[in-house]
Chain A
């Protein structure tokens, strides 16, 4: 079965540093998402991306966050200046075409900000 691939699986960074989390969604999917899960909490929506632009973003997704699909295959989440509270598991997901279809999640990137 096709997979969503995320790299790295673990990322440790110092507060204030920039990080880029990478995702390769399933190739013929149209919707792409970033979600995050702080340890012990529920999964939270960050941003959705469709037709090469952000279609929706949450209150969490402030100016420190950005997403790109630079080459038609990779989908990246950048955090410009990390804070301690950005420590979480970040999941990329893709969806074939509509909300009436299953999502496919990557295995996640565990980000630790020290």
Chain B
């Protein structure tokens, strides 16, 4: 069983829709990261969370430590948001390494 599970694997939305991507993990963590991977392969860090909620522009990330669950929300989605969104965690027992989820492929159609 993967330590980090994301859902859905694939998501297609119409421009303007509100999008939610979920991440569940099975181990105690120090931090959780949301990353964006563009079609060319490059990875950009969106958020690092250890508790609560963070917002940046149209992106909102939340985490519930007790339930071992995090969500990434995109409001007013746009075709340029099309990318793979990856959840990754720092397990408490593993120092600074990240354990990655499989990613969610998001496609936003105009």
Q: Which of B14-22, B62-70, B91-99 contacts A (4 or more CB under 8 A)?
A: B91-99
B43 near A91 with CB under 8 A, answer yes
A107 near B41 with CB under 8 A, answer yes
- Least CB distance from B7 to A in Å reads 14
Q: A18 at interface (Cβ–Cβ under 8 A)?
A: no
- Least CB distance from A57 to B in Å reads 9
Q: B71 at interface (Cβ–Cβ under 8 A)?
A: no
A42 near B95 with CB under 8 A, answer no
Interface size class of B (residues with CB under 8 A): 20 to 34
Q: Given the complex, which residues of A lie within 8 Å of B102, measured CB to CB? A: 42
Mark contacts of B43-76 with chain A using CB atoms, 8 A cut-off: 1 yes-contact digit, 0 otherwise: 1110110100000000000000000000000000
Give the residue name and chain of the A residue nearest to B49 (CB): A100
- Decide yes or no: A55 and B96 within 8 Å by CB, A43-B86, A105-B43, A108-B41 being known contacts: yes
Give the residue name and chain of the B residue nearest to A108 (CB): B41
A100 near B48 with CB under 8 A, answer yes
Q: Given the complex, which residues of B lie within 8 Å of A50, measured CB to CB? A: 96
B96 near A105 with CB under 8 A, answer no
Which positions in B face A, CB cutoff 8 Å? 30-31, 33, 35, 40-45, 47-48, 50, 86, 88, 90, 94-103
